[in-house]
């Protein structure tokens, strides 16, 4: 039972798309909770993620005593949502969880509107989600209205950054439920150093090809550097909905010989393909790519946006640049390449900070502590 701290909890995690940092977070969290004897289930979308998601879920499935369940969850509001709600409701009734933990906007809705066992708590981690939509837009107003409706059907809010917490409170309101901030964390093996690939380019990007991730801004910055006489090269590691648009942009700017597309790569393989990693995000809460690169001691410059400054800490001179500004990004890249020893020393110091504050163990313990406090609150 949830009231007995010696007994394992029955925990159901739910997320729409099993891709990117959000599924990385959930898999690490579920693994850590399973290691501590808790019984875990995972509900996720069957329409996205492809073979990589299928393989990742198959790998963790034997460790999740309550099972892995996939169903077609659409990103936008859809008439099929009523059927999906019914499937969620039946699963929750069957699994009888102590903790219903929704990740992201869509799963966060389903996990808070299904009938729940009387003893259970509802937990919500937005991971950006609906908070990425400005309140000045129709979508932002719709999603904000839904968030406000559900705000007080939530016993525990878990934010991965103080930025995310502040953004939620500014856009949605002050929850009545318990609020905790628990940083994302990385595993011990991710602190191993990276060996630079023999054909490494000057700059590398690792991540999804989505507008919010800003790969197009990085291509513009490289074009500026080359126009100024600096023959910078770039390797883009990733894929996604903007793949074709990015390839067209590279051709339009005459950068075919300067920019390589390596396709989807594991983060550490992608880090090895450039002397300096660039994180050009237009918006981010607590991006794993920054934490992973920092843990590996990779020289890096990143947009000063969202929760990224919380990863770097108060001393981030030279590492962060103004977001959505290709000129500022180009200047940061030039400075890092012109003084690689200084960039490497910053990376060494940041690695020490990550070791102290961003471990998987601390993340798992922080989340479980949040659950316990929510149960005590009643």
DSSP for 256-283 reads TTTEEEEES--HHHHHTTEEEEEE--SS
- Judgement on whether residues 333 and 278 belong to the same structural domain of the protein: yes
For the cut 90, the answer to whether the pLDDT of residue 315 exceeds it is no
- What pLDDT sits at residue 20? 84
4 assigned to some structural domain: no
Residue 1: pLDDT band (50, 70, 90) is very low
DSSP for 160-229 reads SSHHHHHHHHHHT---SSEEEE----B-GGGGSPPPPPTT-EEEEEES---GGGTHHHHHHHHHHHHHTT
Q: How many angstroms separate the CA atoms of 154 and 166, rounded? A: 17
Q: How many angstroms separate the CA atoms of 245 and 262, rounded? A: 16
Residue 108 tokens read as 């966060």
- What pLDDT sits at residue 194? 94
- What pLDDT sits at residue 173? 92
Q: Which of 375, 356, 291, 366 is closest to 36 using CA atoms? A: 366
- What pLDDT sits at residue 314? 87
- Judgement on whether residues 219 and 151 belong to the same structural domain of the protein: no
Query: pLDDT tens digits, residue range 218-227?
Result: 999 999 999 9
For the cut 50, the answer to whether the pLDDT of residue 48 exceeds it is yes
CATH of the domain at 28: 3.40.50.2000
For the cut 90, the answer to whether the pLDDT of residue 128 exceeds it is no
- Judgement on whether residues 205 and 217 belong to the same structural domain of the protein: yes
- Judgement on whether residues 114 and 148 belong to the same structural domain of the protein: yes
For the cut 60, the answer to whether the pLDDT of residue 58 exceeds it is yes
- The arithmetic mean of pLDDT across residues 76-90, rounded, is 95
The answer to whether 30 and 38 are in contact (CB under 8 A) is: no
Average pLDDT value for the chain: 93
* Full residue range of the structural domain in which residue 351 is found: 189-357
Q: Is residue 355 classed as helix, strand or coil in its secondary structure? A: helix
Q: How many domains does the chain have?
A: 2
Query: pLDDT tens digits, residue range 248-266?
Result: 999 999 999 999 999 999 9
- Judgement on whether residues 68 and 175 belong to the same structural domain of the protein: yes
| Lowest mean pLDDT across 90-104, 233-247, 293-307, 312-326 | 312-326
Q: Please, which contacts does 300-306 make with residues 24 or more away whose CB atoms are closer than 8 Å? A: 300/276, 300/343, 300/347, 300/350, 301/276, 301/277, 301/329, 301/332, 301/333, 301/336, 301/343, 302/278, 303/214, 303/279, 303/329, 305/281, 306/161, 306/163, 306/164, 306/281
For the cut 60, the answer to whether the pLDDT of residue 247 exceeds it is yes
| Lowest mean pLDDT across 35-44, 79-88, 214-223, 313-322 | 313-322
3 assigned to some structural domain: no
For the cut 60, the answer to whether the pLDDT of residue 336 exceeds it is yes
- The arithmetic mean of pLDDT across residues 82-97, rounded, is 97
- Judgement on whether residues 288 and 339 belong to the same structural domain of the protein: yes
For the cut 60, the answer to whether the pLDDT of residue 2 exceeds it is no
How far apart, in Å, do the first and last CA atoms of the chain sit? Answer: 14
- The arithmetic mean of pLDDT across residues 73-89, rounded, is 94
Neighbours of 377 (CB within 10 A): 11
Query: pLDDT tens digits, residue range 271-282?
Result: 999 999 999 999
- What pLDDT sits at residue 80? 95
Q: Where are the beta strands (DSSP E) in 21-120?
A: 39-45, 67-71, 99-103
Q: Is residue 363 classed as helix, strand or coil in its secondary structure? A: helix
Q: How many angstroms separate the CA atoms of 56 and 162, rounded? A: 29
- Judgement on whether residues 181 and 240 belong to the same structural domain of the protein: no
2 assigned to some structural domain: no
Per this entry, what is the length of the chain? 378
- Judgement on whether residues 181 and 309 belong to the same structural domain of the protein: no
Q: How many angstroms separate the CA atoms of 105 and 15, rounded? A: 9
- The arithmetic mean of pLDDT across residues 101-115, rounded, is 95
- Judgement on whether residues 110 and 193 belong to the same structural domain of the protein: no
The answer to whether 377 and 155 are in contact (CB under 8 A) is: yes
| Lowest mean pLDDT across 31-40, 170-179, 201-210, 340-349 | 170-179
For the cut 60, the answer to whether the pLDDT of residue 3 exceeds it is no
- Judgement on whether residues 143 and 253 belong to the same structural domain of the protein: no
The answer to whether 355 and 347 are in contact (CB under 8 A) is: no
5 assigned to some structural domain: no
For the cut 60, the answer to whether the pLDDT of residue 62 exceeds it is yes
- What pLDDT sits at residue 270? 97
**100 phi and psi angles, rounded to 5 deg:** -105, 105
1 assigned to some structural domain: no
The answer to whether 44 and 14 are in contact (CB under 8 A) is: yes
Q: At what angle do helices 326-338 and 340-357 cross, to 10 degrees?
A: 100
- Judgement on whether residues 172 and 197 belong to the same structural domain of the protein: no
- Judgement on whether residues 240 and 346 belong to the same structural domain of the protein: yes
Residue 133: pLDDT band (50, 70, 90) is low
For the cut 70, the answer to whether the pLDDT of residue 267 exceeds it is yes
- Give 44's DSSP letter: E
């Amino acid at each position: 039972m949830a009231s007995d701290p010696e007994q394992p909890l029955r925990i159901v995690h739910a997320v729409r798309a099993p891709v990117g940092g959000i599924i990385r977070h959930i898999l690490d969290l579920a693994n850590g909770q399973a290691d501590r004897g808790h019984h875990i289930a995972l509900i996720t979308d069957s329409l996205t993620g492809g073979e990589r998601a299928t393989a990742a879920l198959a790998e963790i499935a034997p460790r999740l005593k309550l099972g892995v369940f996939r169903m077609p969850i659409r990103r936008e509001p859809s008439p099929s949502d009523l059927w999906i709600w019914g499937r969620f409701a039946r699963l929750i009734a069957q699994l009888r969880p102590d903790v219903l933990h929704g990740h992201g906007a869509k799963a966060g809705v389903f996990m808070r509107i299904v009938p729940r066992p009387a003893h259970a708590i509802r937990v919500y981690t937005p991971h950006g989600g609906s908070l990425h939509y400005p309140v000045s837009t129709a979508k932002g107003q719709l999603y904000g209205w839904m968030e406000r409706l559900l705000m007080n059907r939530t016993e525990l809010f878990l934010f991965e950054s103080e930025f995310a917490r502040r953004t939620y409170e500014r856009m949605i309101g002050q929850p009545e439920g318990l609020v905790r901030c628990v940083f994302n964390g990385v595993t011990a093996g991710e602190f191993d150093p990276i060996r630079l690939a023999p054909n490494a380019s000057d700059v590398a990007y690792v991540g999804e090809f989505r507008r919010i991730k800003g790969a197009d801004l990085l291509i513009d910055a490289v074009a500026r550097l080359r126009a100024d006489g600096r023959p910078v090269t770039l390797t883009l590691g990733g894929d996604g909905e903007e793949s074709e648009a990015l390839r067209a942009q590279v051709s339009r700017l005459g950068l075919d010989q300067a920019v390589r597309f390596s396709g989807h790569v594991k983060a550490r393989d992608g880090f090895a393909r450039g002397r300096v990693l660039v994180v050009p995000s237009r918006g981010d809460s607590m991006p794993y790519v920054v934490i992973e690169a920092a843990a590996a001691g990779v020289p890096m410059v990143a947009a000063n946006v969202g929760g990224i400054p919380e990863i770097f800490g108060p001393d981030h001179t030279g590492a962060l640049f103004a977001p959505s500004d290709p000129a500022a990004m180009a200047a940061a890249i030039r400075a890092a390449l012109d003084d690689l020893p200084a960039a490497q020393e910053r990376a060494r110091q940041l690695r020490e900070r990550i070791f102290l504050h961003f471990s998987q163990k601390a993340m798992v313990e922080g989340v479980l502590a949040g659950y316990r406090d929510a149960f005590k609150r009643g």
